[in-house]
Amino acid sequence: MSSASKSLASLPETGYLREPAVLTLIPVSRSTWWAGVKSGRYPAGLKLSSRVTAWRVEDIRALITQIAANQSIQKEAA
C-alpha cells in the first residue's frame, strides 16, 4: 500500500480538516501551504472564524490523488 493510499484510508469520507491535520498529510511547510492556497495550487479553505480555517476532506482527498498521479507520471518519464 502506497503512502498516498494510506493517507486516503485514514481520512473520513466527509468533514473538515484543520491546518495541522492537512500538513501531516501534505508534507510542506506552513508558508508553502499558504502560498499554494493563494496561488491556487492547493484548495482554498473555509473560514470558520477570524482565526480558524478548515479544508473539506473531499478537497484534500482530491489533492492527495492528484499529487500521487503526478509523481507516478514523473517516475514513468524518468
Give the residues across from 47 on adjacent strands: 53
The bridge status of strand 46-49 relative to strand 52-56 is antiparallel
Residue 62 pLDDT exceeds 80 = yes
Number of structural domains (the chain) is: 1
Residue 24 pLDDT: 94
pLDDT tens per residue across span 11-30: 888 999 999 999 999 999 99
Reported as a single tens digit per residue, the pLDDT across 20-58 is 999 999 999 999 999 999 999 999 999 999 999 999 999
Q: How far apart are CA 58 and CA 68, in angstroms?
A: 15
Q: Check: CB of residue 74 under 8 Å from CB of residue 17.
A: no
Task: Dihedral sign for Cα 68, 70, 76, 78, please.
Answer: negative
Residue-number span of the structural domain to which 28 is assigned = 3-77
